Amino acid sequence: MIWLTWRQLRPTLITAAVLLGVAAVYFVITGEHIRHTYSSDLSTCRSNCAQVLDNFAGSYQNLRALIQLVVHAVPALIGIFWGAPLIAAEFERGTHRMAWNQSVTPTRWLAFKLAGGALASAVAAGVLSLLFTWWAGPQDKIDASPFDWNVFGTRDITPVGYALFAFALGALLGLLTRRGVLTAMALTVAVYVGVQVVVATQIRPHIMPTQTMSVSVDAQLLSHPVDTTITGSASGPTVTFKVKAPAGSWKLSQTPVVDGSGAKLPMSAVQNCIEGPVQSQSDLANCLAPYNPHVGVRYDPASDFWPLQWYETGIYVALAGVLAGLCFWRIRGHRD
C-alpha cells in the first residue's frame, strides 16, 4: 500500500520538489545579496540611517509583497490540487476498487493516502515558509509588524497549519462530492478562504489576553506627526489622534479621546483650540491640557507573537484532525 501511494503521488511530489528547489536557490542567492546590502547600509550610514534603511526596504517592497501573495496562496493550492482530487479522482476513475478488492480495507487505503499527502503538504509549506522568513528578515526589521495579517500568515510555522487544514478540507470535500473533482476544488477554495477570514478577524485577536494603556494627548505626543494627524472635513475641523502601541506589539483598538472624567472630549473644545491662536501641535496640546485628554489603547504585546503562532497553528492542525476523522467516518459508508 505504501508503494501504491508513492506511485500515485510521485508526479505531484517530484513537481513540488523541483519548484521548492528552484525557490530555495532563488531565496539563498538573492537573500545573501539583501543581507549584504543591509549590513553595508548600516555600517556606512551616519546621521541619516533611518532614511537609508527606509530606502533599502522600499527597494524590495513590491517583490516582498508579491512573494507574500504566493506564500499565502500555497496552502489553498495544496487543498485544491492535492486534497480535493485525492479521493474524488479515485472515485471518478474507479481505481479505488483495485485496492479494495485486494484485501485492503477502505480505512487502511484512506489512512495511507491521507498520511502521505499530509506529510508532503506540511513539508512543502514549512520549507517555503522557512525560506521566505529568512529572506524577508532584514526588510521585516525595518517596516513590518510581525502581527500584520500578510506577515503573520506567511512567516514561521502558521503556513504549516494552513496547509494541513487545506489538504484535509479538500480531501473531505472530495470524498463527499465523490466524482465531482471540480466541485470539490471550488468548495475547497470557498471554505478555506472563509475560515481564514474568520480566524484572522474574529478568533486571533481574542486568543491571548490583551493589555491596555492610557496615553495622554500632550505636547510630547503631538510633537511626533507620525503618531497623530489633524485633518479637515466639509463639516469643520476634525482632530484624530493616532496613538501607537508599544514597539513590536499588535494594536487592536483605540478609544476616542476622553477627558479627565472619562467622557468623550467635546468637539467644541477642539474647535475652539483650532480656531484660536494655535500655531503648532504643541500649542494645541497646551490649549487642550485643562481637559486632561487621553486615549485608551488595547494591544497584544510583542511577547505574544510566538504563543499566537503556536495557538493558531494548533487550531488549524486540530481542524485538520477533525476533517480527517470525518473522512474515516464517511469512507465506511462506501461499498463501491
Q: Give the confidence band of 226 by pLDDT, cuts at 50, 70, 90.
A: very low
- Distance between CA 301 and CA 210 in Å, rounded? 8
Rg from Cα positions in the chain? 27
Residue 238 lies in a domain: yes
**9 and 95, same structural domain?**
yes
Report if residue 291 sits inside a domain: yes
> Where in the sequence is the domain holding 163, given as residue range(s)?
2-208+303-331
Within this chain, do residues 325 and 291 fall inside the same structural domain, yes or no?
A: no
Least confident of 70-74, 179-183, 265-269, 301-305: 265-269
How does the average pLDDT of the chain come out, rounded?
83
* Mean pLDDT, residues 91-98: 62
* Residue 54 located in a structural domain: yes
C-alpha cell at 65: 509583497
| pLDDT value of position 30 | 94
Instruction: Give helix 106-143 / helix 2-44 axis angle, nearest 10°.
Output: 0
Same domain assignment for residues 29 and 174: yes
Partners of 294 in the β-ladder: 216, 258
C-alpha distances (whole Å) from 130 to each of 66, 125, 127 are: 17, 9, 5
- The share of the chain scoring above pLDDT 70, in percent, equals 83
Q: Which three cell numbers stand for residue 9?
A: 503521488
Task: Please check whether residue 188 is in contact with residue 85, taking contact to mean a CB–CB distance below 8 angstroms.
Answer: no
> How many separate domains does the chain show?
2
SS (H, E, C) the chain: CHHHHHHHHHHHHHHHHHHHHHHHHHHHHHHHHHHHHHHHHHHHCCCCHHHHHHHHHHHCHHHHHHHHHHHHHHHHHHHHHHHHHHHHHHHHHCCHHHHHCCCCCHHHHHHHHHHHHHHHHHHHHHHHHHHHHHHHHHHHHHHCCCCCHHHHCCCCCHHHHHHHHHHHHHHHHHHHHCCCHHHHHHHHHHHHHHHHHHHHHHHHHHCCCCEEEEEECCHHHHCCCCCCEEEEECCEEEEECCCCCCCCCEEEEECCCECCCCCECCHHHHHHHHHCCCCCHHHHHHHHHHHCCEEEEEEECHHHHHHHHHHHHHHHHHHHHHHHHHHHHHHCCCCC
Residue 103 lies in a domain: yes
Pick the more confident residue, 334 or 47: 47
Domain-located, residue 243: yes
Shared domain check, 121 and 81: yes
State the amino acid at position 164 in one-letter form.
L
- For residues 295 and 241, is the Cβ–Cβ distance under 8 A? yes
What's the confidence (pLDDT) of residue 276? 66
Q: Grid coordinates representing 62?
A: 513590491
Cα–Cα distances in angstroms (integers) from residue 230 to residues 160, 217, 235, 274, in the given order: 43, 13, 14, 10
Provide the whole-model pTM. Answer: 0.86
Domain identity same for 153 and 296: no
What mean pLDDT comes out for the span 193-204? 95
Based on the fold, state whether residues 152 and 52 are members of the same structural domain. yes
Residues 312 and 158: beta-carbon distance below 8 Å:
yes
Rounded Cα–Cα distance for residues 100 and 332 (Å):
12
* Position 22 in a domain: yes
86 plus 156 within the same structural domain: yes
Q: Is residue 149 part of a domain?
A: yes
**Helix orientation angle between 158-177 and 106-143, rounded to the nearest 10 degrees:** 140
Q: Are residues 167 and 114 in the same domain?
A: yes
Residue 336 in domain: no
Residue 231 pLDDT more than 60?
no
Which of 3-7, 18-22, 60-64 shows the lowest per-residue confidence on average (mean pLDDT)?
3-7
Average pLDDT over residues 100-119: 79
Instruction: For residues 327 and 189, state if they share a domain.
Output: yes
Residues 6+ apart with CB under 8 A from 212: 296, 297, 298, 299
26-58 confidence digits (pLDDT tens): 999 999 999 988 888 777 777 778 788 888 888
Q: For residue 249, which of 199, 286, 304, 197 has the smallest C-alpha distance? A: 304
The model's pLDDT over 125-166, given as tens digits with 9 standing for 90+, comes to: 999 999 999 999 998 888 778 999 889 999 999 999 999 999
135 and 124 belong to one structural domain: yes
- Residue 173, pLDDT > 70, answer yes
Residue 239 sits in the same domain as residue 166: no
Looking only at the bridges linking them, the beta strands covering 229-233 and 236-240 are antiparallel
Nearest to 163 by CA among 183, 134, 192: 192
Q: Does 16 lie in the same domain as 150?
A: yes
Residues 6+ apart with CB under 8 A from 197: none
Q: Taking Cα atoms as reference points, which of 230, 212, 214 lies closest to residue 222?
A: 230
